[in-house]
Amino acid sequence: MKGDLPDFLDGGSSHLGPRPPRRRPATWWWIGGGALIVVAGALVALHLAGYIPLRRAPGAQGTPNAHRPAAPRPGSTATRMPPPWQGPVPYPVLIADTGHHRLLEVTPTGKVVWQLSLPAAGGVVVHPNDVAFTPHGHSVLVSAETQDLVERVDYATRRVRWTFGVPGQAGAGAQHLNYPDDPAELPNGDIAVADIRNCREVILSGTGQMLAAWGKPQLNYCQTNPSQGLFGYPNGSQPQPDGNILLTFSSGDRIAMFSPSGKVLWNVSAPDLFGGFASDAVSATAGTVIVCGYGTPGSVAAFNPHSGAQLWHYFVASGPNALSNPTVALPLPGGNVLVADSGNNRVVAINPSTGRIVWTYATGLSHPGGVALDVYRNWQVPAPRGARAAHPRVGARGVRPVSRRKAAA
């Protein structure tokens, strides 16, 4: 308001005394003023176009610029790019190549664009059985069931940031795991891990410290009764955007949703999995869960956990289209489902509408145990000259693709 301005900015008199008489400005004043006006106009134009966002000074009050979206919270999909490929699989696929103790990323056309042979941990060779990106794609979370550990790997540098668990030593203490699976980051930055043979769900900090463990100790064969704290061999642990966690129990083929505090929200039986046990249930569209039937032959099914209705299933008893020990099935944009067909040493995409395999990657794989979609990088765009092709640009706000243009297949 006018009263908030000092007199010498308000156009009135000031403590400096009366204004001196006006003088005719020199020619260079006109030139300099014109240049300033041109520069200011250009900056305003760039700002309106979104290239130069205006920022308030720290501590300043007021309403944020209406055209600027709020910063994405952890776990959101705000950093995801549109699918860069057209076809059955629209994103690159990160694979936990268990038998070759490596992580491998391939494009939908089968080109290898990133890979890492995991270094030994404590003298033990690490065989990754599952893999997941952290939100924004900076890191990769890896579980190694047979080595009883979980690791966090920096994607850009390929360095292991931390390891939780004692390599090769199964245990139930605060520093041990026993056949861990399916690590994934929660919206608050913690890490959820299915600790299968300890019959518990473990919550780690983002730096690899145990914070909590759900599930009562059990003797002999573990039973599943989530409402009583009995976790029968949990093998799937999928965080939801709201902080809830979807757990899969192979004992009893149960699937349950838990709140961030560990409260059971719902608990249902898996659909008919044709003899396989329930593996790695995943939330797809609203009201739909996809789960694998781990076995040979294996199966994949989608169902509504609230009504119990089975929406579709894939099961082939024999032949090249039969699955063998499928571990996880991820929904893809367009309706296809990506499956880690571990026993057949391949990753496939299935079209639920036609019941057919529409994409396969099997080159050099050995029992791939897990897959993740790389929704953060566009590998179709060539890297800048002199840049390492397997290392996309990393900015202060996250890993960003070189281009967000949607390219043709």
- Residues 88-141 have pLDDT tens digits of 999 999 999 999 999 999 999 999 999 999 999 999 999 999 999 999 999 999
Q: Is the pLDDT of residue 408 over 50?
A: no
- Who wins on pLDDT, 373 or 392? 373
The whole-number average pLDDT for the span 321-330 is 98
pLDDT at 366: 98
Cα distance between residue 371 and residue 348, in whole Å: 11
Sign of CA dihedral 313, 317, 322, 325: positive
pLDDT at 52: 36
The whole-number average pLDDT for the span 184-209 is 97
The pair phi, psi for residue 171, each rounded to 5°, is -170, 170
Residue 335: band (very low, low, confident or very high) from pLDDT cuts 50, 70, 90:
very high
Per the structure block, which two tokens stand in for 215? 């599930």
The whole-number average pLDDT for the span 12-41 is 44
Per the structure block, which two tokens stand in for 330? 């991820």
Q: Is the pLDDT of residue 58 over 80?
A: no
Q: Is the pLDDT of residue 24 over 90?
A: no
Cα distance between residue 46 and residue 119, in whole Å: 47
Q: What 3-state DSSP class applies to 40?
A: helix
Strands of the sheet containing 245-249, edge to edge, are 234-239, 245-249, 254-258, 264-269
* Domain-located, residue 39: no
Mean per-residue pLDDT over the chain, rounded: 81
pTM: 0.76
Residues 194 and 235 sit within 8 Å (Cβ to Cβ): yes
Residue 333: band (very low, low, confident or very high) from pLDDT cuts 50, 70, 90:
very high
Per residue in 255-281, pLDDT tens?
999 999 999 999 999 999 999 999 999
- Using a pLDDT cut of 90, give the percent of the chain over it: 70
Cα distance between residue 308 and residue 290, in whole Å: 12
* Domain-located, residue 406: no
Cα distance between residue 185 and residue 143, in whole Å: 13
We report the CATH number of the domain holding residue 294 as 2.120.10.30
pLDDT at 235: 97
* Domain-located, residue 116: yes
* Domain-located, residue 64: no
H or E element: which one contains 48?
Answer: helix 27-48
Q: Is the pLDDT of residue 287 over 70?
A: yes
* Adjacent-strand bridge partners of 276: none
* Structural domain containing residue 212: 93-380
pLDDT at 400: 29
What distances in angstroms separate CA 376 from CA 9, 145, 233, 336, one per listed residue? 49, 27, 32, 20
pLDDT at 82: 87
Residue 149: band (very low, low, confident or very high) from pLDDT cuts 50, 70, 90:
very high
pLDDT at 55: 32
The amino acid sitting at 172 is A
Greatest alpha-carbon span in the chain: 99
* Domain-located, residue 365: yes
Q: Reduced to 3 DSSP states, what percent helix, strand and coil does the chain have, rounded to the nearest 5?
A: 10, 35, 55
- Using a pLDDT cut of 70, give the percent of the chain over it: 74
Let me know how long the chain is.
409
* Domain-located, residue 5: no
* Domain-located, residue 109: yes
Tally of structural domains, the chain:
1
Cβ burial, residue 370 (10 Å; 0-12/13-18/19+) = buried
pLDDT at 382: 59
Question: 123: phi > 0 → left, psi -120 to 50 → alpha, else beta; which?
Answer: left
* Domain-located, residue 7: no
